[in-house]
Amino acid sequence: MPVHTYTNWNSRPSDQEEQIEPFRKYYFICEGANTETFYFRRLIDLRKQLGIHPLIDIRLWEKTDEDRNLSFVKNLVTFAEKQKQNPDNDFDIERDKMVIVFDGDIFEEKVEGYEELITAIEEKDIAVVTNPGFELFLILHVDGSYEQRIKGHESEYLSMDEKGKYSHAYNVLLEITGMNAKKNSGIGNLADNVLVAIAQEKLINQDIHDLKGKVSSNVGKVIEEIINEKPNI
């Protein structure tokens, strides 16, 4: 089975009571196998504290086995589409939304077709992009981090190191938290500060159609929209 679904959707405790089904489910599927999983699992556990409407559910589709490191974004989109068609996954095409989370750094260099990709995703689903990568969004969870760590340092985030990697955001996050975001599941606890991240994200570029050469993220924007959604029932 290629995906494992993580949810904390609670049915009513008693069989005698009516079972409640969510009005809409947001399925997050991520390019990264570890860091994003640690984060979204924690965010899902915070559903009630964040005041997400009781009929809105957030679920994480975790890739398993041979698909675990399925990365390049087009493969991820194809994979997500396949999961939507699988009846075992309980995806309601009319109401539910797929949220596809990936890094923008690959498009800084040489990969063409970014705008077409985003437009295609947005026809049915939601694209969530961080440039250079997800660690940037995690940094925003720390109070004052925009002023202290990002403002005036944008070019450092979008410069490659000697190994050809965009490692600055990872290094800054390691310095702030003392945690290796790729290996330490404790990094997910930053989700407790998601409202700080939502506020600070508004200080950087949130337009994912225009992120080349810009430190960017729309993760907080999408989470805020989910928090504020009130189903019309």
Kindly state the helix (H) or strand (E) to which residue 100 belongs, with its residue range: strand 97-103
Of the listed ranges 24-28, 109-113, 144-148, 190-194, the least confidently predicted one is: 109-113
CA nearest to 36, candidates 189, 202, 188: 188
Structure tokens at 203: 């200080």
Dist. CA 49–CA 111, nearest whole Å: 40
Instruction: State mean pLDDT over 6-30.
Output: 71
Q: Is the pTM of this model over 0.85?
A: yes
CA nearest to 105, candidates 71, 133, 75: 133
Measured at the CA of 149, the angle between CA 146 and CA 153, to 5 degrees, comes to 105
Return the pLDDT at 58.
95
- Give 1 or 46, the one with higher predicted confidence: 46
Q: Which residues pair with 4 in a beta bridge?
A: 62
Return the pLDDT at 126.
97
Percent of the chain scoring above 70 in pLDDT:
89
Residue 10 has pLDDT above 70, yes or no: no
For 120-142, what is each residue's pLDDT tens digit? 999 999 999 999 999 999 999 99
Dist. CA 19–CA 175, nearest whole Å: 46
Instruction: State mean pLDDT over 98-113.
Output: 87
What is the sign of the dihedral through the CA atoms of 26, 27, 32 and 33? Answer: positive
For 29-71, what is each residue's pLDDT tens digit? 988 778 999 999 999 999 999 999 999 999 998 876 665 555 6
Most confident of the ranges 12-26, 52-66, 97-111, 173-187: 173-187
The structural domains of the chain, with segments of one domain joined by +, span: 3-8+22-228
Return the pLDDT at 56.
94
Kindly state the helix (H) or strand (E) to which residue 220 belongs, with its residue range: helix 219-228
CA nearest to 103, candidates 157, 175, 176: 157
CA nearest to 99, candidates 28, 4, 201, 44: 28
- Give 67 or 79, the one with higher predicted confidence: 79
Average pLDDT, the chain: 89
What is the sign of the dihedral through the CA atoms of 77, 78, 83 and 85? Answer: positive
Return the pLDDT at 112.
80
For 166-199, what is each residue's pLDDT tens digit? 999 999 999 999 999 999 999 999 999 999 999 9
Return the pLDDT at 68.
56
For 208-223, what is each residue's pLDDT tens digit? 999 999 999 999 999 9
DSSP 8-state assignment for residue 18? P
CA nearest to 28, candidates 11, 18, 42, 16: 42
Return the pLDDT at 70.
54
DSSP 8-state assignment for residue 69? T
- Give 230 or 66, the one with higher predicted confidence: 230
112 φ, ψ (degrees, to nearest 5):
-90, 170
Structure tokens at 161: 């190191």
